[in-house]
């Protein structure tokens, strides 16, 4: 391995194949115990300079996953390779040689503590889950009960596939996460094979959900969330390499089926990235590919670790892994920040305003405009001062515009929030506008929403076009059919109880309106609208 290039030599033909990736790490030899058990580079060894210890691997790959989490992006990091090649070492580690997962968790809480100590107003929540896929069955590794059942994998129309019933537990400290990782690791399915005495016979997925909550200037709660999926895949070797028989052989078949499905998905996505049209990605072929759908081709920033064996006896497996990784690097995902779009725009404008305020306060304008502009080098001090004042005025104008944009967006956000609350109550569309147009506000509005006025009742209100009071209200309503006959027969000319009784609003309908607690003007408006019967 040299730089970001990995070379592999065929032991028979001596042909050399080269593969280029973002990183190529050597961690087979060239290390020594630093006295604490940590394996550090041994500068006296020929390979000491290129030995990649756990901290180096995390700093160059895992740290980016943590940065993504703070910015609101989902991330997935998965390790692929044959048994004994170092997948679990890279992901989890051993003892003081912590892998990416524990270092990620430790640094997440360090940064949370630093922000809190600095007086951050945001609130932070961390949720942890851990599952394994064994023989195409999904198990919750945080469920130690003897009666635990396999989890069903279902599909949500928006968020995609998920394991129904998977425990996601709140974790307030790094120590709690460590405890959960140990708990889940104890429950993993392992077995001895010829390749590895303690080989994991299942795929393991650790999910850490990080939520940041804040309150904007209008007093509304804003949230930004991110999920980090850290995946340790089972060994990818052929059955004859493991010496497996019976149950172990069946496990190997299931492992190879899911890894083959993963390979097919990666190949299809690579074709799509290359411009091929009408390609179907076979996510449904295995539980693994269902649960990794977002990671492979959806809302996630994804990193693949290809763990390799340096032994020539494993040449074919190593070459297969390298080809697998070479296809995977061609895939393009579409990660996006998981926050309300309005909240994102407001946040960006706030950040821009803070920068503008800082520049105005310091008096340091963006003088590159002065240096790079036409004739900038020949400006007199007077001309420079004049242009600086113009820039200052421009910055102030930008500040005011940003402030106005933020206010407008917050108003629009509040409007959408109120509309969504109205929709949740069953009052939607035109009907909701008519109720608001009728001057029904405050407690009265809440009472209508609480009454669950829907279907027939809602249609009658909408048909009524209630906007005023008394007879004018009924006349403007254009009430037809039974309602019109009731009103006409009643000879309604006044308001209040006579109007209600004259309208023929009786029986169950009247009781329902009264039971809903709708009184006063609001009650009159509903009743004059011709709401009768069950509606």
Q: Are 99 and 90 in contact (CB under 8 A)?
A: yes
In 390-422, which positions are buried (b, 16+ CB within 10 angstroms) versus exposed (e)?
ebeeebeeebeebeeebeebbeebeeeeeeeeb
Residues whose CB is less than 8 angstroms from the CB of residue 234 and which lie 6 or more positions away in sequence, other chains included: 83, 199, 200, 201, 202, 203, 255, 259
- The sign of the torsion formed by the CA atoms of 377, 380, 385, 389 equals negative
Q: How many CB atoms lie within 10 A of CB 485?
A: 13
470 is in an annotated binding site: no
Query: HEC profile for 224-285?
Result: EEEEEEEEECCCCCCHHHHCCCHHHHHHHHHHHHHHHHHHHHHHHHHHHHCCCCCCCCCHHH
260 is in an annotated binding site: no
Please tell me whether 86 is known to bind a ligand.
yes
Closest C-alpha among 34, 93, 20 to residue 58: 93
Angstrom CA distances, 321 to 261, 308, 313, stand at: 15, 7, 14
Please provide the DSSP assignment of 110-167 as one string: HHHHHHHHTT---EEEEEEEEEEEETTEEEETT---TT--PBEEEEETTTEEEEET--
Binding site annotation covers 334? no
| 289 neighbors 258 (Cβ within 8 angstroms) | yes
Q: Is 144 annotated as a binding residue?
A: no
Task: Please report where in the chains the tokens 């006063």 appear, as a residue.
Answer: 520
b/e per residue, 305-340, with b = 16+ CB within 10 A?
A: bbbbbeeeebeebbebbbebbbbbeebebebebbbb
| 507 assigned binding-site residue | no
For residue 240, count other CB atoms closer than 10 A to its CB.
9
Work out the number of other CB atoms within 10 angstroms of the CB of residue 95.
Answer: 9
Sign of torsion over alpha carbons 195, 199, 205, 208? negative
- Any binding-site annotation on 298? no
Q: Any residues with CB less than 8 A from the CB of 418 and at least 6 apart, and which?
A: none
**CA 535/CA 531 separation, integer angstroms:** 6
According to the annotation, is 83 in a ligand binding site? Answer: yes
Q: Which residue ranges are tagged as binding site for ATP?
A: 81-88
Q: Which residues are annotated as a binding site?
A: 81-88
């Amino acid at each position: 391995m040299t730089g970001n290039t990995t070379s592999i030599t065929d032991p028979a033909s001596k042909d050399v194949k080269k593969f280029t990736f973002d990183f190529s790490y050597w961690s087979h030899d060239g290390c020594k115990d630093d006295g604490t058990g940590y394996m550090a580079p041994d500068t006296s060894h020929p390979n000491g300079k290129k030995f990649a210890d756990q901290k180096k691997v995390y700093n160059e790959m895992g740290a980016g996953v943590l940065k993504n989490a703070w910015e609101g992006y989902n991330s997935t990091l998965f390790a692929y390779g044959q048994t004994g090649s170092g997948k679990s070492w890279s992901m989890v580690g051993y003892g003081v040689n912590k892998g990416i997962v524990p270092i990620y968790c430790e640094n997440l809480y360090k940064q949370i503590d630093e922000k809190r100590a600095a007086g951050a107003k945001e609130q932070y929540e961390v949720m942890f889950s851990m599952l394994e896929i064994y023989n195409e069955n999904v198990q919750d590794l945080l469920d130690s009960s003897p009666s635990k059942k396999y989890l069903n994998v279902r599909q949500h129309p928006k968020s995609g596939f998920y394991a129904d019933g998977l425990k996601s537990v709140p974790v307030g400290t790094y120590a709690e996460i460590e405890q959960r990782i140990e708990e889940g690791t104890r429950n993993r399915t392992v077995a001895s094979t010829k390749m590895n005495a303690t080989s994991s016979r299942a795929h393991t997925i650790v999910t850490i959900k990080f939520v940041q909550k804040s309150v904007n200037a209008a007093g509304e709660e804003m949230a930004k969330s991110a999920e980090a999926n850290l995946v340790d895949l089972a060994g990818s070797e052929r059955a004859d390499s493991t010496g497996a028989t019976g149950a172990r052989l069946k496990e190997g078949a299931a492992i190879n089926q899911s890894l083959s499905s993963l390979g097919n998905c990666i190949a299809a996505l690579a074709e799509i990235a290359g411009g091929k049209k009408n390609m179907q990605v076979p996510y449904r072929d295995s539980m693994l590919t269902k649960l990794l759908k977002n990671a492979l081709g959806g809302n996630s920033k994804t990193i693949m670790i290809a763990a390799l064996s340096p032994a020539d006896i494993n040449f074919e497996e190593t070459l297969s892994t390298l080809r697998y990784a070479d296809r995977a690097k061609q895939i393009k995902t579409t990660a996006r920040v998981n926050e309300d779009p309005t909240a994102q725009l407001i946040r960006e404008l706030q950040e821009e305003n803070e920068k503008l305020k800082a520049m105005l306060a310091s008096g340091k304008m963006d003088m590159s405009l002065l240096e790079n502009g036409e004739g900038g080098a020949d400006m007199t001090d007077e001309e420079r001062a004049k242009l600086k004042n113009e820039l200052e005025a421009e910055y102030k104008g930008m500040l005011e515009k940003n402030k106005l944009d933020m206010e407008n967006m917050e108003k629009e956000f509040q409007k959408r929030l109120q509309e969504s609350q109205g929709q949740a109550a069953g009052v939607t569309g035109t009907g909701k506008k008519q109720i608001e147009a009728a001057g029904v506000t405050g407690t009265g509005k809440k009472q209508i929403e609480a009454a669950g006025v829907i279907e027939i009742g809602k249609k009658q209100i909408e048909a009524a076009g209630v906007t005023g009071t008394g007879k004018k209200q009924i006349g403007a309503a254009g009430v037809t059919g039974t309602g019109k006959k009731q009103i006409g027969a009643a000879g309604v000319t006044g308001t209040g109880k006579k109007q209600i009784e004259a309208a023929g609003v009786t029986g169950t309908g009247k009781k329902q309106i009264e039971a809903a607690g709708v009184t006063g003007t609001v009650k009159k408006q509903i009743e004059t609208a011709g709401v009768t019967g069950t509606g």
